[in-house]
């Protein structure tokens, strides 16, 4: 039986946000691969196995895929939404070795080193034809599921109605023209928020604090996570927001077409500022201390199966880790890949993340 515990799926009207993403080495104990389900469907006591998957709030898959997997594997899958990716990782770190789940989905490039340092995972990489760079990003500990780019999204209609040019660079966001128009997520609680902080460090080096001081002086709004920013504060997010610039993803605009009422628009009314995007890879890992590690590995294998990977673009609006996966037409047309995304190696993130977040907090939230 497919169980969904307090999950708010990514696939609702104009929901995007994804997930998200970096570099390492392949497998440490694969099973038979992700194209066929293995069976670890009974506990040692002969009871059916339930695999609990901790996820961020934006996780979504087509329910029939879960039902089919449960029928063929004998494993019941329970998805437990635990907030933004940052909150999910914090929860897993606090419970390292004694987890309240079996699999964690949603740890990404910005947070992986923290989870590895805390020994959250039992190393496992699925034996599947995944992008080698994404496999490397998992450091031989976790399996890449998808990737995308955290970018500033723009409500084009809002700017056109006011005859204001849209911003095109990170520097533009500090211009008084765009005062009180930008909403971002807190890097202490949000994976996209942390990615944007890292993007500014990668772009401005030691001068990043001055950049954030300029954003603060220009009225940047900070909220806890992506959902609050996009669905609550963004003018094109479906709520009552008054901010036409939002931190989201380069893959966000297709959702506007997919979830629009008929007749569907020819093009989205939102666009992406391609300067300053940060590339993220999103992973799934087996939690150390899981009482059913083989069944947990089977679930990770299933997440990189052709069927699930084909579902990812229009369920979570990110790119699948299997590069041979056919993409939907609307995704091909409107989901963007920045030519030169900003990146940062995992060790640099691990060495500096806490200090950078603390310094950011003093500058922006003091």
CB atoms closer than 10 angstroms to residue 207: 11
What is the pLDDT at residue 43? 61
**Percent of the residues in the chain that have a pLDDT greater than 90, as a whole number:** 76
pLDDT higher for 10 or 292? 292
**Phi and psi (nearest 5°) for 101?**
-155, 180
Q: pLDDT tens digit string along 201-250?
A: 999 999 999 999 999 999 999 999 888 999 999 999 988 999 999 999 99
State yes or no: pLDDT of 332 exceeds 80.
Answer: yes
What is the pLDDT at residue 45? 59
Only one residue has tokens 């060790």, namely: 347
What is the pLDDT at residue 11? 35
How far from each other are the two terminal CA atoms of the chain, in whole angstroms? 48
The radius of gyration of the chain from alpha carbons, rounded to an integer in Å, stands at: 20
Q: pLDDT tens digit string along 3-38?
A: 433 333 333 333 333 323 222 322 233 333 434 344
Domains of the chain: 3-148+280-334 (3.40.190.10), 149-279+345-364 (3.40.190.10)
State yes or no: pLDDT of 90 exceeds 60.
Answer: yes
For the chain, the average pLDDT equals: 88
What is the pLDDT at residue 91? 94
Which residues have a Cβ under 8 Å from the Cβ of 131 and sit 6 or more positions away?
A: 144, 147, 321, 322, 323
State yes or no: pLDDT of 119 exceeds 90.
Answer: yes
Using DSSP, state whether 25 is helix, strand or coil.
coil
| Mean of pLDDT values over 61-71 | 97
Read off the tokens for 144: 């890449």
């Amino acid at each position: 039986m497919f169980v969904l515990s307090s999950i708010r799926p990514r696939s609702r009207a104009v929901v995007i946000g994804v997930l998200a993403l970096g570099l390492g080495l392949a497998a440490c104990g694969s099973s038979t691969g992700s194209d066929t389900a293995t069976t670890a469907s009974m506990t040692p006591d002969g009871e059916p196995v339930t695999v609990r998957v901790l996820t961020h709030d934006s996780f979504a898959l087509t329910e029939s895929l879960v039902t089919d997997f449960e029928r063929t594997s004998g494993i019941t899958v329970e998805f437990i939404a635990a907030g933004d990716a940052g909150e999910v990782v914090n929860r897993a770190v606090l419970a390292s070795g004694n987890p309240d789940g079996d699999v964690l989905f949603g740890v990404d490039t910005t947070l992986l080193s923290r989870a590895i340092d805390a020994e959250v995972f039992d190393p496992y990489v699925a034996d599947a034809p995944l992008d080698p760079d994404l496999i490397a990003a998992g450091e031989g500990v976790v399996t890449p599921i998808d990737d995308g780019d955290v970018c500033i999204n723009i409500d084009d209609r809002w700017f056109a109605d006011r005859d204001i040019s849209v911003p095109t660079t990170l520097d533009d966001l500090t211009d008084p023209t765009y005062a009180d128009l930008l909403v971002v997520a807190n890097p202490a609680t949000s994976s996209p928020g942390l990615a944007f902080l890292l993007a500014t460090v990668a772009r401005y080096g030691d001068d990043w604090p001055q950049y954030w001081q300029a954003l603060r002086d220009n009225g940047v709004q900070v909220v806890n996570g992506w959902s609050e920013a996009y669905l609550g504060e963004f003018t094109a997010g479906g709520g009552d927001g008054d901010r036409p610039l939002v931190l989201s993803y380069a893959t966000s605009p297709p959702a506007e077409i997919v979830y629009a009422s008929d007749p569907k628009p020819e093009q989205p009314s939102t666009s992406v500022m391609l300067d300053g995007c940060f590339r993220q890879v999103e992973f799934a890992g087996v939690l150390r201390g899981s009482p059913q590690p083989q069944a947990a590995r089977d679930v990770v294998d299933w997440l990189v199966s052709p069927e699930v990977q084909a579902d990812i673009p229009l369920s979570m609006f990110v790119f699948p880790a299997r590069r041979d996966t056919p993409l939907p037409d609307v995704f091909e047309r409107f989901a963007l890949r920045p030519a030169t995304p900003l990146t940062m190696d995992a060790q640099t993130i691990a060495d500096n993340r806490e200090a950078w977040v603390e310094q950011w907090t003093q500058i922006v939230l003091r």
